Amino acid sequence: MFSPRLGCSSISFRHQPLPRALETIRGAGFEEIDLGALPGVCDHVPFILDEAAVGQVRETLVGSGLRVRSVNGDIGDLNAARTGPQRETRSVHLRRLLQLTAEIGARALVLPCGALDHEPSRSLEEDLDLVAAELIYAGDEAARHGLEVWTESLHFFRLCWNPDRARALTERLAGSSVGVVMDFSHIVASGADPVEFVKAFHDRIAHVHLRDAVPGDIHRSIGTGEADFVGGLAALAGSGYRGHFSLELETRDVTDAQRPAAAVAAGQFISSLL
């Protein structure tokens, strides 16, 4: 029904408890997911992630029969320096997320590109240095588990909200294993072009999120915004991208009751382009 390279993020059904969201995704015909673990955005993974919580989420995922491509998580503002107990708390949370990622058979943990604020907490250069250092550290930890770390290097609501900042962050990641997640909606919301993003970052793109947008607004269903999916997906194919894609339909233009049908329609449209 859908391309085997196309999955659906559990964030698309964040209003449902995890078991129900997985049933909905499987019922729509998808076989692969990204797992949302973003406190305040998608609570499908408990923020207090102890051994019991890891085991519960693992059992739920295994029972669903769905493959997991990545875990979309958050360990705090990476441009906020942490010392002492705060750093240990962040490190423990990172290790638990990596444990979960490994135990559910996912390939990567996705971490943010800084705080939910365009303004740096110090200077932009210092903040970018700190975010890059934290991502590289996380990538090294992930490698111990046979995993990868990816970052959504352009996220309209976070520190790296436009192509210039995404480029500055990515330059700081040179030589590391940290991959880039390309999100069509955040690129368009920032006023940028997905085709140009591919040209700039093609050698680091490890995963792709799909949702529509207009400048300033990421919450559009596919086909109702201005994202050039035809051109962007063609550019990815032309660049040699062979990774996977995930519908992250955190939209505001359909009701929750309409969301499963909207996901199916989006899946069919995107599959026709892959």
Number of helical (H) and strand (E) elements in the chain, helices listed first: 9, 10
* Joined tokens for residue 209: 């999120």
Instruction: In whole angstroms, give the CA distance from residue 254 to residue 222.
Output: 11
Confidence at residue 81, expressed as pLDDT on a 0 to 100 scale? 79
Distances (CA, A) of 32 to 71, 120, 145, 195, 215: 12, 36, 21, 26, 29
Confidence at residue 88, expressed as pLDDT on a 0 to 100 scale? 87
* Joined tokens for residue 138: 């996380």
Q: What percent of the chain has pLDDT over 90?
A: 93
Q: Are 13 and 36 in contact (CB under 8 A)?
A: no
Rounded mean pLDDT of 209-235?
Answer: 97
Burial annotation 63-85 (CB, 10 A radius, 16+ → b, else e) = ebebbbbbbbbbbbbbbbebeee
Pick the CATH number of 6-273 from 3.40.640.10, 3.50.50.60, 2.40.180.10, 3.20.20.150: 3.20.20.150
Q: What percent of the chain has pLDDT over 70?
A: 100
**Residue range 140-171, pLDDT digits in tens:** 999 999 999 999 999 999 999 999 999 999 99
Nearest to 134 by CA among 156, 157, 160: 160
Q: Per mean pLDDT, which range of 78-87, 103-112, 216-225 is the poorest?
A: 78-87
Confidence at residue 82, expressed as pLDDT on a 0 to 100 scale? 79
Q: Where are the domains of the chain?
A: 6-273
244 pLDDT more than 90: yes
Confidence at residue 182, expressed as pLDDT on a 0 to 100 scale? 98
Nearest to 157 by CA among 41, 13, 7, 36: 41
